[in-house]
Structure 1
């Protein structure tokens, strides 16, 4: 993680400072902003290796800021939604390769999510039939089209292709179930005959 450039967009200044310290201890260069307009200005001038974004940003919402970021860059995002926010699945369609952390979370949770984002980008593509998962771009694609996917959806795709069940531990049933529904819908849109069911990575 040493040398990575991280942008933190978080309204709670104390919380932003705590995240800055967590990344700084690991050799990252960190910029902090406190609302959505500041975030747009920051990544309009600089491409970051990671964007950590509060979903509750004022002036320009966190969800919209992430969508703008994902439209410009392929680098990963850590999204911090409101606790229990039910719209995460819908918004995540526009996030690109995102990890989602619900509050409260620990420093270890944050760093684990960041490391997962960075390491995933270095992994080989995974193919099934006419569909390819690109970890580098955070997309699944076929000759018909392409769809952005979240980090959880990518992991679910990989396990489904391998015929493995996805352990709910570390995700939670609701997260895995929502990811399975979203992934299945995206696979259908690009003409894949791969389907997931039961939210546990089983092929149908």
Structure 2
């Protein structure tokens, strides 16, 4: 899941980013509304965690542009105000959820993941193809009955490939959805991660390389 954190208080923004990355999310960070809108032009974010009270380009304007035209991106709006009127107004601007500051890290993460699930077409709770099973809620995966000890990125790649339901997924699409802006797009990160993932499968051929196109299960 690809997330954009937009918060002008750099310490809070960096803290949110660290927590999300530790939990296996791909996260980009913007400290102002203009940068956020520029990033959203190039990246199809699943969720944007958006501070409402941004200087220059206000969070309300950012929210309106992000959700214009029925965009798939979900917006979780943050604000220092906890009044019901402000929550109603924020949701009326197109935000999908609203969380007042200060907040609990566990709640922020849970709400973000819930919005991420809503950003995609409804899928079975457990992703399966053949003997490969992955449970996104429990963060577990198995192959032919054997539990797979996966890193966060390996889990993300496997989940995305299973969710593609047999479609060949280009490497740059995996890079965009499982990694974030700190990853050099010219690296062999995707190939190396897929290769490590294969070594943990009961049958390495379960993940196929389609020359010149990408990977599929």
Q: Which category of TM-score, normalised to the shorter sequence, fits these structures?
A: 0.5 to 0.7
The structure whose Rg is larger is 2
How far 1:123 sits from its partner (Å)? 4.6
2:57 corresponds, among 47, 57, 60, to 60
SS in 1 for 2:13: helix
Alignment partner of 2:109 out of 108, 111, 125: 111
When normalised by structure 1's length, the TM-score is 0.54
Per the alignment, in what secondary structure is the counterpart of residue 87 of structure 1?
A: helix
Mapped partners of 1:35, 1:91: distance in 2: 18
Query: Counterpart of 1:56 in 2: which secondary structure?
Result: coil
Q: Are 2:42 and 1:45 aligned?
A: yes
Q: Give CA-to-partner distance per residue, 1:119-138, whole Å, 9 cap, x none.
A: 345559xxxxxxxxxxxxxx
- The CA RMSD over aligned residues, in Å, is 1.8
Instruction: Report the Cα distance in structure 2 between the residues aligned to 1:106 and 1:87, rounded to whole angstroms.
Output: 20
Whether 1:99 and 2:97 are equivalent positions in the alignment is: yes
Matches within 5 A, 1:73-152: 73-85=71-83, 86-96=85-95, 98-121=96-119, 122-123=121-122
Measured after TM superposition, the shift of residue 26 of structure 1 is: 1.8
**How big is the shift at 1:95?**
1.4
CA deviation map 1:145-187 (0-9, x unaligned): xxxxxxxxxxxxxxxxxxxxxxxxxxxxxxxxxxxxxxxxxxx
Report the equivalent of 1:136.
none
Q: What CA distance in whole angstroms lies between the structure 1 residues aligned with 2:81 and 2:89?
A: 16
Structure 2 unmatched runs, 5+: 124-217
TM-score normalised to the size of structure 2? 0.51
Aligned residues: 120
| Larger RCO (alpha carbons 8 Å, 6+ apart) | 2
Once the 2 structures are TM-superposed, how far is the Cα of residue 84 of structure 1 from its aligned partner? 2.4
Residues in 1 aligned to 2:82 and 2:48: alpha-carbon distance in whole angstroms: 21
Match of residue 177 from structure 2: none
Distance in 2 of aligned mates of 1:112 and 1:30: 15
Structure 1: gaps spanning 5 or more residues:
125-204
2:100 partner SS: coil
What SS does the aligned partner of 2:23 have?
coil
Deviation at 1:115, TM superposition (A): 2.0
Question: Hey, which bits of structure 1, 4+ residues long, moved more than 3 A?
Answer: 119-124
Structure-1 separation of matches of 2:118 and 2:26: 21
